[in-house]
Amino acid sequence: MSPLPRYLFAGGTAVLTGAASGIGEHMAHGLAGRGSNLVLLDRDADRLEAVTATIRGRHPHLHVDTFVVDLADTSALDVAAQQILTEHPSITLLINNAGVAMGGMFEELSAEEFDWVIRVNFHAPVTLTRWLLPALRRSPGSHIVNVSSLFGLVAPPGQSAYVSSKYALRGFSEALRHELTSQNIGVTTVHPGGIRTRIAETARVAASIADDQARQASKEAVGKLLTYPADKAASQVLTGIEERRPRVLIGWSAVLPDLIARVFPSSYWNVMSRLRPSTTRKAAGHATVPETQAGSRARN
């Protein structure tokens, strides 16, 4: 099978989750600038409306549709997906970008908290892919993007739910890519590092952790690690789509841990802790994760 040609944005229809802020917001603008019609999903109605109004003002010739939906609500997501298919029978790009964070050691997380992360970060992308794949098949040269994480490459303590969801999304994406290559559909997995978004301030913490001062201190510490510009990260994702890259790592905070994990597959966390002890301690804190997307409440 010959490699897929470059993805063509102009005239296509892109479905994007988590479009109200962070990387998702910048990708929405980038897609519009490249000529894509948009179907934007997010939980935050006000932020989503603001993003949409700006895009419509700048690109009045494009069709921009929005869906306010909580990706943790499986029934609501099914309804939204069916409506998307009805209104947009031809879809050329699906970007599963939305994600949520939940800090806490495994024994501190309730079953509901753990499952909430899995529903949003893993089940929602799988559900949307299942619903929209027929439409993608009808558009030769279409593409699927799943935004995993730095923590889909390495697994720090204190992030068992988040890591589980992002490793699962990575595995799903790789299997899907191998299955769809012969159907002329590309699949890209994205692993962002320390991207400057709202995730530190909006992430949830296990309810069993009662120390509010410790929670806030941890959020502030991790927030300092989020330095990579979200607009630059979004641009790299779009370039990866255009070039049909199977994997996009964003920032040295993703590239270096990936390299260390490949060289030291069973002891990489000890190596990373010795290299940057203060950073890894903060990364394993209870409050949040030092990476990728917009805040958990604004993104889905």
Q: How does pLDDT run across 240-291, given as a tens digit for each residue? A: 999 999 999 998 889 998 999 999 999 999 998 888 655 444 444 434 443 4
- Is 78's pLDDT higher than 70? yes
Helical residues (DSSP H) of the chain, grouped into ranges: 22-33, 45-58, 74-87, 111-118, 124-137, 160-180, 199-202, 212-223, 230-242, 252-263, 268-275, 277-283
CATH number (domain holding residue 17):
3.40.50.720
Taking the C-alpha atoms of residue 206 and residue 156, their distance in angstroms, rounded to an integer, is 16
Q: Is residue 23 part of a domain?
A: yes
Residues 6+ away with beta carbon under 8 Å from 70: 43, 76, 300
Taking the C-alpha atoms of residue 255 and residue 251, their distance in angstroms, rounded to an integer, is 6
- Is 149's pLDDT higher than 90? yes
Average pLDDT value over all residues in the chain: 86
Q: Is residue 131 part of a domain?
A: yes
What's the pTM?
0.87
> Which one is catalytic: 162, 167, 228, 268?
162
Q: Is residue 289 part of a domain?
A: no
Taking the C-alpha atoms of residue 297 and residue 300, their distance in angstroms, rounded to an integer, is 6
Q: What percent of the chain has pLDDT over 90?
A: 72
The CA-to-CA distance between both ends of the chain, in Å, stands at 36
What does the pLDDT read at residue 288? 44
Q: Is residue 6 part of a domain?
A: no
- Is 7's pLDDT higher than 60? yes
What does the pLDDT read at residue 92? 98
Q: Is residue 99 part of a domain?
A: yes
Taking the C-alpha atoms of residue 124 and residue 90, their distance in angstroms, rounded to an integer, is 21
Section 226-251 average pLDDT = 92
The alpha carbon of residue 72 and the mean position of all alpha carbons in its chain are separated, in whole angstroms, by 14
Residues 6+ away with beta carbon under 8 Å from 73: none
Is 162 a residue of the active site?
Answer: yes
Q: Is residue 183 part of a domain?
A: yes
- Taking the C-alpha atoms of 90, 78, 28 and 219 in order, what is their torsion angle to the nearest 10 degrees? -160
Domain count, the chain: 1
Q: Is residue 299 part of a domain?
A: no
Confidence bin at 25 (pLDDT 50/70/90): very high
What does the pLDDT read at residue 274? 85
Q: Is residue 216 part of a domain?
A: yes
The phi-psi region of residue 6 (left if phi > 0; otherwise alpha if psi is between -120 and 50; otherwise beta) is beta
What does the pLDDT read at residue 282? 46
**Minimum mean pLDDT range among 68-77, 118-127, 187-196, 207-216:** 207-216
Taking the C-alpha atoms of residue 179 and residue 287, their distance in angstroms, rounded to an integer, is 37
Tokens representing residue 296 in the block = 């958990």
DSSP-derived 3-state class of residue 241: helix
- Is 295's pLDDT higher than 50? no
Q: Which tens digit of pLDDT belongs to each residue from 166-223?
A: 999 999 999 999 999 999 999 999 999 876 455 545 555 656 665 555 555 455 545 5
Is residue 66 within 8 A of residue 40, CB to CB? The reply is: yes
Full domain range(s) for residue 147:
13-283
Query: What is the Rg, in whole angstroms, of the alpha carbon atoms belonging to the chain?
Result: 18
Tokens representing residue 192 in the block = 């962002």
Which of 71-80, 96-105, 187-196 has the highest mean predicted lDDT (pLDDT)? 71-80
